[in-house]
Amino acid sequence: MSVTTLDDVAEKPAIRITDSTLRDGSHAMAHRFTEDQVRSVVHALDAAGVEVIEVTHGDGLGGSSFNYGFSAVDDVKLVAAAVDEARQAKIAVLLLPGLGTVRNLKEAFDAGASVARVATHCTEADVSIQHFAAARDLGMETVGFLMLSHRASPAKLAEQARIMADAGAECVYVVDSAGALVLGDAQARVQAVIDEIGHQAQVGFHGHQNLSMGVANSVLAYQAGARQVDGALLALGAGAGNSPTEVLAATFERLGVPTGVDVQAALAAAEDVVKPIIPRLPHMDRSSIVQGYAGVYSSFLLHAERAGARYGVPPHEILQRVGEAGYVGGQEDMIIDIALQLAQERDLGDLAGVGTR
């Protein structure tokens, strides 16, 4: 057992928590955040000392669509409101190449966003090169996001992180979009990325709670050298949610790692500001655990529930099938396709059942 002393506190490097309640949490809100809600959450996070607050449709800029769900309020308006509300925090936006474009990024920048987070599937980093170039030209801070990181080996992930770092990413995140990485799996990937790009860029970790590993993986990532992690108040995010920002703040404080976040203020933000506005708390239910277990993109959860209800098939079976097919972030349309297949198989099964009688 180690005991944290004041000397340790002084020596330990800080970790920066980026709060994604208003981006990853947008999935859990079916992308229906209002401007007032964004203002109140930003106000609370900013006062708690969170340095970076991400505000975008769950699928990033341009995400408002049939496929991912339409936003209640345009991203650019929400970004502008967040920028207006923040006193010290920077406002970040997410962009998925193939969905969002440089044009979307410029609109967000004009609204005051100052951090560009560019996300690709973990093996497709080269589609982000033009977006990093544009973000750097605008003078934005740049972060790369390698999604569904459990699908790539540590060595492959390092190679992809190299592409992003060379394209201008100042930090590259190992993103556990499915909440599928278990402890050493997460740390080995963070370590490999640090070994490859650590001398020129920071490394971050984005965790999900589908197998309850978000915070533990974040600590292991820090111990491997990660200096940025993502959280969301009350874990509000896709699947079983993200690493809770307030738990990250409390845990790192106990470890003597400076975060700049006031634990009591973060707890109050979660309890008093976020809890009253969300329809349900993210939790580890059958479907979200299957996501972690089968390695399925967390944002697919509510889509699977809706398709399950529409076609009368169990959401966890849809998600299991999605995992087997190897679908990646953005392929929400395939959830309907699989629900249709399952419904067809069920109907054929019913017919077979009738036949045997």
**Residue numbers of the site for other proteins (CB under 8 A)?**
62, 65-67, 69-70, 72, 97-99, 101-103, 121, 123-124, 126-127, 129-130, 151, 310, 325-331, 333-334, 336-337, 340, 344
Candidates 70, 22, 41, 80; CA nearest to 236 is 22
φ, ψ for residue 228, nearest 5 deg:
-140, 140
Name which of 44 and 61 has its Cβ closer to other proteins: 61
Q: What are phi and psi of 59, to 5 degrees?
A: -95, 15
Q: Which candidate, 122, 184, 106, places its Cα nearest to that of 157?
A: 122
Query: Going by DSSP bridges, is the β-strand pair 171-175/16-22 parallel, antiparallel, or unpaired?
Result: unpaired
Q: Of 61 and 111, which CB lies nearer to other proteins in the complex structure? A: 61
Q: How far is the CB of 152 from other proteins (least distance, A)?
A: 9
- Shortest CB 126 distance to other proteins, Å: 5
Residue 113 C-beta: closest distance to other proteins, Å: 18
Q: How far is the CB of 220 from other proteins (least distance, A)?
A: 26
Q: At 78, is the secondary structure helix, strand, or coil?
A: helix
In whole angstroms, give the CA distance from residue 258 to residue 334.
43
- Least CB distance from residue 90 to other proteins, whole Å? 25
**Residue 168 vs 329, nearer CB to other proteins:** 329
Q: How many residues does the chain have?
A: 357
Give the span between the Cα atoms of 239 and 28, in whole angstroms. 8
* Closest to other proteins by CB, 98 or 258: 98
In a 10 Å sphere around its CB, with 0-12 CB exposed, 13-18 middle and 19+ buried, how is residue 26 labelled?
A: buried
The single residue of 27, 57, 131, 208 carrying the catalytic annotation is 27
User: 37 CB contacts (<8 Å, ≥6 apart)?
Assistant: 277
Please name every residue paired with 55 in a beta bridge, in sequence order, or none if there are none.
Answer: 22
d(CA 88, CA 42): 11
> Cβ of residue 112: shortest distance to other proteins, in angstroms?
22
Which one, 34 or 212, has the nearer CB to other proteins?
A: 34
d(CA 6, CA 2): 13
Rounded CA separation 300/71 (Å) = 17
Pick 10 or 66: Cβ nearer other proteins: 66
Residue 283 annotated in active site: no
For β-strands 202-206 and 228-231, DSSP reports them as: parallel
Q: Coil, helix or strand for 320?
A: helix
Element (H, E) at 264: helix 263-268
Catalytic residues: 27
